Amino acid sequence: MLDVHPPHHPTHTWTDFFIHIATIVVGLLIAIGLEQTVERIHEHYELRETREALADERVANRELVTKDQQEWLEVYRELRSNLEVLTYLRSHPGTKQADLPAALDWMQSPFLYKHAVWDAAEQNGVVHHMPLEEANQYQDFYEVLRVIGAQSLATWDAINDAARYNLLDPDPTHLSAAELDEEIRLARTALEKHFEMGYSLARIANTYRDMPRAVNYSPVLDHLRRTAFDLDPVGMKAAQDRLTERIKGTAGGTAVDPGR
């Protein structure tokens, strides 16, 4: 708060009065300018400290992403193996557990990332002092991490659902035909959710150059089954062209009836 003190002696002329008013105005302007300068300096140092803390947090998250990408690949192979074993067991009822193609394993830990510094920057308003492009880049990065964390928890839940039979009997060969069909469905669901997380890990690898690339779009797509167009591009060309037309919409901008 700025204090304005009264004059120590009375003003006798209009000139004295205006000089006094001008002195007060100039003093107020100087005080306001100094106050704003101090605020700007404080904002500058606060922004610099936040950027340094964000850089440290990014390094920590990069290490976590590196670890999680390797774990994603391992869990993917694990889930694929589990599904193959369960499918084999359905086709070969009566097989002993020791004679199965492989043992079943349902291990995966949630992928959780650090975001305390970014949360604080949003809450205390430091983010508003950043250039818009910089703030948007940070926001996108942390949003992808949040999505990966949520997908990881969903995958973790699905894997736990698939492994629930272990609570009563760890031997999958004791499952009835109906129970085995349900177990195969749960294993497929876990694999599907794991793939969704893989796409997000691939996005962070392909978008940010400082992030590891053990999981990017190429290896993720390589694990998918080939489409009909990939297997027979000549024979499927007409159907693929019709799909392209539907995606783009009809010529001339006319509306498309969703019921057709």
Q: Would 237 be classed as within a structural domain?
A: no
Among the listed residues 48, 50, 55, the one whose alpha carbon sits nearest the alpha carbon of residue 210: 55
pLDDT tens column, 89-136: 999 999 999 999 999 999 888 999 999 999 999 999 888 888 999 999
Check residue 258 and give its pLDDT. 46
Q: Would 209 be classed as within a structural domain?
A: yes
Q: Does residue 38 register a pLDDT over 80?
A: no
Q: Would 37 be classed as within a structural domain?
A: no
The rounded distance, in Å, linking the Cα atoms of 125 and 105 is 47
179 versus 41: the higher-pLDDT residue is 179
Q: Would 72 be classed as within a structural domain?
A: yes
Instruction: For the chain, give the percent of residues with pLDDT over 70.
Output: 78
Classify burial at 90, counting beta carbons within 10 Å of its beta carbon; exposed 0-12, middle 13-18, buried 19 or more: middle
Model confidence at 43, in pLDDT bands (50, 70, 90)?
Answer: low
Q: State the residue range of the domain holding 204.
A: 58-228
Q: Which helix (H) or strand (E) holds 179?
A: helix 177-207
Place of tokens 């964000």: 54
Q: Does residue 252 register a pLDDT over 50?
A: no
User: Mean per-residue pLDDT for 13-22?
Assistant: 68
Q: Would 242 be classed as within a structural domain?
A: no
How many domains, in total, are found in the chain?
1
Among the listed residues 191, 74, 211, the one whose alpha carbon sits nearest the alpha carbon of residue 145: 211
Name residues whose C-beta falls within 8 Å of residue 60's C-beta, 6 or more positions apart in sequence: 114
Q: Would 26 be classed as within a structural domain?
A: no
Q: Would 167 be classed as within a structural domain?
A: yes
Q: Does residue 224 register a pLDDT over 70?
A: no
Q: Would 173 be classed as within a structural domain?
A: yes
Q: What is the pTM of this model?
A: 0.73
